Amino acid sequence: MKSQNKRKKSLPSIIFFTLSGIVLVISVVYLVRGSTNPDFYWHSPSTSSTHTRIRSTLNGNTFLLLKDQIVAINNARFAYKGTINGDLIFDHYIPQLDPHYAYNRQIPSKSAKKGFRLGKTYFRLLAANKNKISMQLLDGH
């Protein structure tokens, strides 16, 4: 009778220590193996395209940018997202604040032809449609 009573008391402790051991082993494996890479975890569709430097200049400081192509200029990154009601839409990434968050910029096409600023850089719109944009990099502003 005593052995059955002892088994009833030991069963909860066996379950407790078994579960505690499993949790401990999983925690150690997680710590040793490492957590998820933050770049992979925060990977968003807007940053899925390749980051490129402006390489294909057409004439001096004039370049063509395709939709969703991310370029890096003067410690800032931006991507052309198309047009909405005649306005140019850009995603502007500021690495010093949060390199994975895109600040949405909407610039009227008419004023963009005179010149506009993205971050610390000035541009002038040459031509744009829903899939690509041609801009000129302006100096001295």
Q: What is the pLDDT of residues 42-93, one digit of tens each?
A: 444 444 444 455 544 556 678 888 888 888 877 778 899 999 988 999 999 8
Residues 126 and 82 grouped into a single domain = yes
Provide the number of structural domains found in the chain.
Answer: 2
pTM of the model: 0.56
pLDDT class of 40 with cuts at 50, 70, 90: very low
What is the rounded distance in angstroms from the CA atom of residue 137 to the CA atom of residue 78? Answer: 14
Nearest of 138, 131, 92, 91 to residue 113 by alpha carbon = 138
Main-chain phi, psi angles of 109, to 5 degrees: -60, -40
Domain that holds residue 88: 40-138
Residues 50 and 26 grouped into a single domain = no
> pLDDT at position 46, please?
45
Residues 31 and 48 grouped into a single domain = no
Residues 23 and 48 grouped into a single domain = no
Q: Indicate the average pLDDT of the chain.
A: 78
Strand runs (DSSP E) across the chain, as ranges? 51-52, 57-59, 62-66, 70-73, 76-84, 87-94, 98-108, 116-118, 121-128, 132-138
